[in-house]
Amino acid sequence: MRRLPEIFQEKQKTFSFELFPPKTEQGYANLLLTIAQLAELKPDFISCTYGAGGGNRDKTFEIAQHIQDKHGIPAVAHLTCVLNTQTQIKDILDDIHRRGLRNILALRGDPPIDNPHWTPGPQNFRYSYELCRFIRQYFNDDFGIGVAGFPEGHPACPSIERDAFYLKNKLQNGGDFVITQLFLDNQYYFHYVRRLTDIGVTAKIIPGVLPIANYNRILEFSKKDGVTIPDKVKKIFEPIKDDPEKTLEAGKAFAIEQCKDLLQGGAPGIHFYTLNKYQPVADILKEIK
């Protein structure tokens, strides 16, 4: 299966989806149906999270392999350092490689809810750049490697300048491309790209877009992950936050405008946080592609 850097050489703009592994067997069966629908939209790649929000780690690579083998679409397997020792990471990477997966989003991750005080020891990687370096050392160029970017800065990083420097360091240690955290004001993305370009970053910085379907969840997310909710967003969603249908429609309309503006402003594509839903992204893609 092709590595994303090769796809990026051929395509100026890519459209892609993120999924997460469901916790139940029924959820898994539903996801396979959703993947079949999403595949009809011909995305350039689909990524699958690893352990995010306490999600089922074991299924990530199975889902990624299914996406490739059944639908012929390049899959990106997310992989995090937290909880795994370096030896375990090596075994996981061997497994990923054996499955024919050739793209990884290399992340640090966060301590899980049931083990919030976990800290890395000498047998663990501390930062994602160490994981990038490790993948390159063992597998040379077999994998395309993505890293996470934070247009508003990672919440634990003392400044956006330092954050940009750490991002560059991930790329210098083997990262090929960047997928960003969600943001609700495109100016954060455009300033971020400028900040990175100014320090010599040339990798593609793909904006991550979440179509809002549940405003209360966005509020929680904003508190936890430091995503600013602009007044414009509050004005649209506060009055309708208890009406799921109106929120969904407003969320799609907002995402369509956001994506159009990003693409016009030079973004190299859009990575949709689908939350395992087909319809919102299908409707949005129809308007922006």
Task: Kindly list the catalytic residues.
Answer: 18
What phi and psi values does residue 72 have, to the nearest 5 degrees?
65, 25
Q: Coil, strand, or helix at residue 247?
A: helix
Q: Which is nearer to ligand FAD, 68 or 128 (CB)?
A: 128
- Bridge partner residues of 204 (DSSP): 177
Smallest distance, ligand FAD to C-beta of residue 3, A: 18
Among 66, 78, 241, 277, binds ligand FAD (CB under 6 A): 78
Give 163-193 as a DSSP string.
HHHHHHHHHHTT--EEEEEE-SSHHHHHHHH
Q: Cα–Cα distance between 204 and 59 in angstroms, integer?
A: 28
Which range in 5-13, 38-46, 50-58, 196-204 contacts ligand FAD by CB under 6 A? 50-58
Candidate residues 128, 173, 186, 247; the one interacting with ligand FAD per rule CB under 6 A: 128
Of the candidates 80, 84, 247, 274, which one interacts with ligand FAD according to CB under 6 A?
A: 80
CA distance 73 to 244: 32
* Binder of ligand FAD out of 148, 209, 213, 248 (CB under 6 A): 148
Q: How many CA atoms lie within 13 A of 59 on its CB side?
A: 20
Contacting ligand FAD (CB under 6 A), which of 7, 39, 41, 157?
A: 157
- The residues that bridge with 19 in the sheet, in sequence order, are 48
99 vs 108, beta carbon nearer ligand FAD? 108
**Does the protein bind ligand FAD through residue 201 (CB under 6 A)?**
no
Query: Does residue 49 touch ligand FAD according to CB under 6 A?
Result: yes
* 43-51, 135-143, 253-261, 278-286 -> range binding ligand FAD (CB under 6 A): 43-51
Interface with ligand FAD includes 179 (CB under 6 A)? yes
Beta-strand relationship, 204-209 and 177-182: parallel
Kindly determine how many residues on this chain lie close enough to bind ligand FAD according to the rule CB under 6 A: 25
Contacts of 225 (CB under 8 A, 6+ apart): 155, 181
Distance of CA 203 to the CA centre of its chain: 16
Binding status of residue 113 toward ligand FAD by CB under 6 A: no
Q: How do beta strands 269-273 and 14-19 pair?
A: parallel
Please report the sign of the dihedral spanned by the C-alpha atoms of residue 87, residue 90, residue 92, residue 94.
negative
- Least separation in angstroms between residue 180's CB and ligand FAD is 6
Task: Give the shortest CB-24-to-ligand FAD separation in angstroms.
Answer: 19
Kindly list the residues in this chain that would bind ligand FAD in the complex (CB under 6 A). Answer: 49-52, 78, 80, 105, 107-110, 127-129, 148, 154, 156-157, 163, 166, 169-170, 179, 181, 208
